Amino acid sequence: MTKRTLIIQGGGFRTAFSAGVLDAFQTHRYNPFDAYVAVSGGAIALSYYLSEQYKKCVESMCLLAEDKHFMSWNRLISSQGIMDVDYFRTVAEEKVPFDLNAAIKAVDGRKVAFVLTHRESGNPHYYQPNEVTWVDAVIATCTLPFVTKGKHTLHGEDFFDGGWSDPLPVEWVWKGGAEDIVLIRTTPADMKVNQSWPDYLATFIFRGNERLRACFEENHLRYNAAIDFLGKPPKGLRIQQIAPSEPLQTGTYSNNVKLIIADYRNGLEAGLNFLMRQVDV
Please give the pLDDT value at position 81. Answer: 66
Q: What is the per-residue pLDDT across 5-55, written as a single tens digit (0 to 9) for each?
A: 999 999 999 999 999 999 999 999 999 999 999 999 999 999 999 999 999
Q: Is 77 exposed, middle or buried (0-12, 13-18, 19+ CB in 10 A)?
A: exposed
pTM for the model stands at 0.95
Task: Please provide the average confidence, as pLDDT, over all residues in the chain.
Answer: 93
Please give the pLDDT value at position 72. Answer: 65
Give all strands (DSSP E) within the chain, no chain letters.
4-8, 35-39, 111-118, 124-127, 152-154, 157-161, 180-184, 238-242
Average pLDDT over residues 47-70: 96
Rounded to an integer, what distance in angstroms lies between the CA atom of residue 158 and that of residue 119? 5
pLDDT at 158 over 90: yes
Domains of the chain: 4-275 (3.40.1090.10)
- Tell me if 223 sits within 8 A of 209, measured CB to CB: no
DSSP state of 196: P
pLDDT at 159 over 60: yes
Average pLDDT over residues 239-257: 92
Q: What is the per-residue pLDDT across 83-141, written as a single tens digit (0 to 9) for each?
A: 899 999 999 999 999 999 999 999 998 999 999 999 999 999 999 999 999 999 999 99
Please give the pLDDT value at position 1. Answer: 47
